[in-house]
């Protein structure tokens, strides 16, 4: 739209019937959409199967909430080892997840040619979708049922869940590398391995570090709850505290989780700032 | 250039090389120590009571006959929970966003930090922890699930929305202010029209995430497909578990496609 004098534009166009017609139509559409939205909301709110009979009255609810206060900080020293376990679970699962993503990355990157490329590409995409669309708790349930309780199935669950994200991002990063640098290495007479080592991998290192840090942060958040299904970490203690109605201990644990996740976010953003930018500038 | 001390070219000098070596040694050390600390037993994969292959054998084929009678209702409940949870999140996120966006925050020194704190707080506590707390307070059923999703969504929506508002074109706001509009009019005609597409897109994206979460929130007792999943696992009815899992995967893939389509259309 080119600029005209706003005053004259406004005073003439507002009286024009087409403009008014357009406005009315737009308003009508907006109202209809709004009504449909409102109807859906109303229906789903009214048909939601709320178990009012299982819920106490307002007094009980408020009393229950108040029992979370104050957090029982005296229990903190005993939770040092679950905290460490949670952090280590996040770290190890990210590393293992990235290692087992390697074949998936090779399959899913379009510019790496394998024999039977289409089949492998489809397989890679399938693994990515499966890994991403199953929640980490479901993976944890799966591994706990298959392997027994402990942090090990939790780590495996987080690793498997990480495959999708890591492979997708890495494959995209490989697809976007500059072919010129690869050609330059090839022109020196380098073999395939050398092309990878000096032409391709240096280009994707910043993405790799960025993904690692990001995924570690995500896995840290996830590992705080895996204990609910018996897969290790601090979530087990939280689940236990809530199940035994020990609500002040539960709120102390939630405080620990808040601090842990908060620190994780600060560390990951600092690290990303430092390493990703530094290596991009190389 | 002939340098006796550097016969071969190296990307890093000696000092950096040692540093890198030490760093790698440290990383591998932490990894190995962590693996032993977490009691990694790869032999368990091979010699477990239910080895993975056996377990998969118990799951396959999925019991499709279980779907019509037992999964349809939890499926509807899951979708309802995601929808209402997102809506609750949107409603709660509006005041939080108003506080947390620095350029429109009402009493900056206080409200900005209150808003920021609320978004970080809501986001840092995982939706499952919110679910556990609310199930403890309100009892089983979809209602605690809806509230948990709502609270958790506030963190995401408050953060991303306030970032959108902080990046608006302030000239347009000044233009509205220059007409003598009061602050409500400034917000409605200067700020909101600039951010509506982003708000809608982010809300739909959040709905997609909430659907994934609400499909499994039942694990902690908050209704939906997750409850059914827990039932079938606790009864060792793994063929039925596979059927529930299949439904969850289909729902998640569908919601991802649907949200991508809507976002592409509106935003």
- Count of Cβ atoms closer than 10 Å to residue A117 Cβ: 12
Other Cβ atoms within 10 Å of A118 Cβ, number:
8
Is the model's pLDDT at A1 over the cut of 60? no
pLDDT of A196 above 90: no
Q: Does residue A267 lie within any of the structural domains? A: yes
Whether A144 and A190 map to the same domain: the answer is yes
Three-class SS state of A218: helix
On whether both A83 and A218 belong to a single domain, the answer is: yes
Three-class DSSP category at B175: helix
Residue of B nearest to A63 (CA): B137
The pLDDT, as a whole number, for residue A14 is: 53
Q: Would residue B147 be called left, alpha or beta, if left means φ above 0 and alpha means ψ between -120 and 50 degrees?
A: alpha
Tell me the Cα Rg of chain B.
Answer: 26
Residue B154 has what pLDDT?
93
Q: Does B84 touch chain A (CB under 8 A)?
A: yes
Which residues in chain A touch residue B240, judged by CB atoms under 8 angstroms apart?
none
**Cα separation of B195 and B160, whole Å?**
11
Question: Residue A240 domain-assigned?
Answer: yes
Burial class (CB in 10 A: 0-12, 13-18, 19+), A217: buried
Least Cα distance to A258 among A229, A230, A234, A228 occurs for A234
By Cβ distance, the residue of B51, B129, B139 closest to A238 is B129
Residue A232 lies in a domain: yes
pLDDT computed for residue A281 by the predictor: 40
CB B86 within 8 A of CB B92: no
Task: Please say if the pLDDT value at position A266 is more than 70.
Answer: yes
Same domain, A74 and A165: yes
Element (H, E) at B220: none
Residues of A in contact with B55 (CB under 8 A): 142, 145-146
Q: Which of B38, B44, B80 sits opposite A89 (nearest CB)?
A: B38
| Architecture, CATH, for domain B66-266 | Orthogonal Bundle (1.10)
Sign of CA dihedral A141, A145, A149, A152: negative
Neighbours of A131 (CB within 10 A): 22
Please answer yes or no on whether A92 and B35 come within 8 Å at the CB atom.
Answer: yes
Q: Nearest 5°: phi and psi at B180?
A: 90, 20
Q: How many CB pairs under 8 A join A and B?
A: 152
Q: Are residues A106 and A206 in the same domain?
A: yes
Cis peptide before A70 (omega within 30 of 0): yes
Res B262: pLDDT:
82
Q: Do A254 and B132 touch (CB under 8 A)?
A: no
- Determine what percent of chain A is predicted with pLDDT higher than 70: 91
pLDDT(A13) > 60: no
Beta carbons of B132 and A228 less than 8 Å apart: yes
User: Can you give the pLDDT at residue B52?
Assistant: 65
The count of structural domains within chain A is 2
Nearest to A110 by CA among A172, A30, A26, A194: A172
Q: Which chain B residue has the Cα nearest residue A221?
A: B126
- The residue extents of the domains of chain B are 14-40, 66-266
Q: In this complex, do A41 and B83 lie within 8 Å of one another by their Cβ atoms?
A: yes
Domain range for A22: 6-47
**B50 close to A (CB below 8 A):** yes
Element (H, E) at A230: none
How confident is the model over A133-187, as pLDDT tens digits? 888 888 898 888 878 788 888 999 999 999 999 999 888 888 888 888 888 888 8
Q: Which residues of A touch B39 (CB under 8 A)?
A: 150-152
Residues A125 and A185 reside in one and the same domain: yes
Which residue of B34, B83, B253 is in closest CB contact with A92?
A: B34
Whether A228 and A148 share a structural domain: yes
Q: Is the ipTM of this complex over 0.85?
A: no
In a domain, A57, yes or no: no
Nearest CB to B233 within list A45, A141, A235 = A141
Main-chain phi, psi angles of A135, to 5 degrees: -65, 150
Q: How many CA atoms lie within 13 A of B215 on its CB side?
A: 26
DSSP character for B217? G
- Are B142 and A48 within 8 A, CB to CB? yes
Mean pLDDT of A33-42: 88
The confidence score (pLDDT) of residue B148 equals: 94
Q: Are residues B124 and A257, on separate chains, in Cβ contact within 8 Å?
A: yes
Same-domain check for residues A239 and A153: yes
Are A107 and B98 a contacting pair, CB within 8 Å? no
Is residue A61 within 8 A of residue A238, CB to CB? The reply is no
When CB atoms are compared, the residue of A48, A141, A262 closest to B124 is A262
By the CB < 8 Å criterion, does B106 face chain A? no
Kindly report the nearest CA distance between residue A122 and chain B, in angstroms.
Answer: 16
Examine the pLDDT at A4 and tell me if it is beyond 70: no
Residue A32 has pLDDT above 80, yes or no: yes
A222: nearest CA partner in chain B: B126
Q: What is the pLDDT of residue B34?
A: 83
A152 and A248 fall within a common domain: yes
A221 contacts in B (CB within 8 Å)? 124, 126
Do A32 and A80 belong together in one domain? Answer: no
What lies within 8 Å, CB to CB, of A72 at 6+ separation is: A248, A249, A251, A252
Q: Average model confidence (pLDDT) for chain A?
A: 83
Continuous segment of H or E residues that includes residue B148: helix B142-166
Q: How far, in Å, CA of A128 to CA of A164, rounded? A: 4
The reported pLDDT for the residue numbered B109 is 82
- pTM score of the predicted model: 0.82
pLDDT of residue B68: 78
pLDDT means per 10 residues in chain B (267 residues)? 57 80 88 81 63 73 80 88 93 92 83 90 88 88 91 92 90 88 86 88 90 89 86 84 88 86 77
Whether residue A138 sits in one domain with residue A171: yes
pLDDT at residue number B146: 93
CATH number for position A205: 1.10.3720.10
| CB count in 10 Å sphere of residue B109 | 7
Report how far Cα B119 is from the mean position of its chain's Cα atoms: 13
pLDDT of residue B66: 78
Do A18 and A146 sit in the same domain of this protein? no
- pLDDT value at residue B44: 66
Query: Using an 8 Å Cβ cutoff, are A92 and B35 in contact?
Result: yes
Identify all chain B residues contacting A50, using CB atoms and an 8 Å cutoff. 141-143
> Which residues on chain B are in Cβ contact (under 8 Å) with A55?
138-139, 141, 143
CB contact under 8 A, B140 and A133: no
Mutate to test the interface with B, among A147, A154, A268 (most CBs of B within 10 A): A147
Residue-wise pLDDT for A77-131, tens only, equals 888 888 999 999 999 999 999 999 988 988 888 877 777 778 888 888 889 888 8
DSSP state, residue A273: I
Of A115, A232, A261, A97, give the one whose Cα is nearest residue B120. Answer: A261
pLDDT at A282 (0 to 100): 38
Same domain, A135 and A198: yes
Structural domain contains residue A61: no
Pairwise pLDDT comparison (A76 vs B78), residue with the higher score: B78
> Hey, are the CB atoms on B139 and A150 less than 8 Å from each other?
no
């Amino acid at each position: 739209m080119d600029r005209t004098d706003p005053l004259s534009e406004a005073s003439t166009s507002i009286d024009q019937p087409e403009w008014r017609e357009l406005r009315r139509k737009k308003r009508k559409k907006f109202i209809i959409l709004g009504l449909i939205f409102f109807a859906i909301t109303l229906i789903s709110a009214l048909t939601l199967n709320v178990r009012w009979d299982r819920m106490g009255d307002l007094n009980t609810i408020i009393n229950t909430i108040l029992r979370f206060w104050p957090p029982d900080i005296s229990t903190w020293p005993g939770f040092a080892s679950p905290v460490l376990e949670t952090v280590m679970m996040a770290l190890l699962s990210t590393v293992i997840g990235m290692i087992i993503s390697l074949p998936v990355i090779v399959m899913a990157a379009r510019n790496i040619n394998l024999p039977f490329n289409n089949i492998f590409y489809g397989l890679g995409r399938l693994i990515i979708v499966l890994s991403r669309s199953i929640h980490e708790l479901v993976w944890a349930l799966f591994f706990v049922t298959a392997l027994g309780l402990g942090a090990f199935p939790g780590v495996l669950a987080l690793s498997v869940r990480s495959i999708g994200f890591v492979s997708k991002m890495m494959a995209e990063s490989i697809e976007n590398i500059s072919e010129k640098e690869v050609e330059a290495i090839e022109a020196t007479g380098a073999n395939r391995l050398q092309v990878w080592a000096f032409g391709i991998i240096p280009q994707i290192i910043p993405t790799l570090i960025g993904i690692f840090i990001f995924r570690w942060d995500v896995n840290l958040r996830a590992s705080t709850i895996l204990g609910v299904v018996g897969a290790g970490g601090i979530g087990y203690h939280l689940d236990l505290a809530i199940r035994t109605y020990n609500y002040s201990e539960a709120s102390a644990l939630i405080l620990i989780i808040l601090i842990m996740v908060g620190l994780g976010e600060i560390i990951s953003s600092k690290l990303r700032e430092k390493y990703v930018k530094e290596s991009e500038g190389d | 250039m002939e340098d006796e001390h550097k016969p071969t070219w190296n990307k890093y000098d000696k000092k950096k090389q040692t540093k890198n070596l030490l760093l790698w040694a440290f990383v591998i050390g932490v990894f190995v120590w962590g693996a032993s600390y977490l009691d990694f037993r790869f032999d368990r994969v091979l010699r477990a009571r239910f080895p993975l292959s056996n377990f998969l054998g118990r799951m396959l084929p999925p019991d499709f006959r279980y779907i019509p009678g037992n999964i349809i209702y939890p499926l509807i409940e899951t979708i309802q929970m995601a929808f209402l949870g997102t809506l609750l999140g949107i409603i709660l996120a509006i005041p939080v966003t108003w506080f947390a966006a620095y350029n429109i925050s009402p009493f900056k020194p206080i409200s900005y930090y209150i808003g920021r704190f609320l978004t970080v707080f809501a986001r840092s506590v995982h939706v499952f922890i919110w679910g556990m707390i609310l199930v403890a307070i309100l009892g089983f059923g979809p209602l605690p699930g809806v509230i948990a999703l709502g609270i958790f969504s506030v963190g995401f929506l408050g953060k991303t929305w306030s970032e959108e508002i902080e990046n608006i074109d302030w000239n347009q706001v000044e233009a509205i202010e220059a007409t003598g509009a009061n602050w409500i009019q400034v917000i409605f005609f200067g700020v909101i029209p600039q951010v509506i597409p982003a708000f809608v897109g982010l809300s739909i994206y959040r709905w997609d995430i909430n659907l994934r979460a609400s499909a499994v929130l039942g694990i902690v007792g908050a209704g939906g497909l997750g409850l059914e999943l827990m039932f079938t696992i606790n009864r060792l009815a793994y063929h039925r578990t596979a059927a529930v899992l299949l439904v969850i995967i289909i729902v998640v893939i569908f919601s991802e496609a649907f949200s991508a389509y809507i976002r592409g259309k509106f935003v």
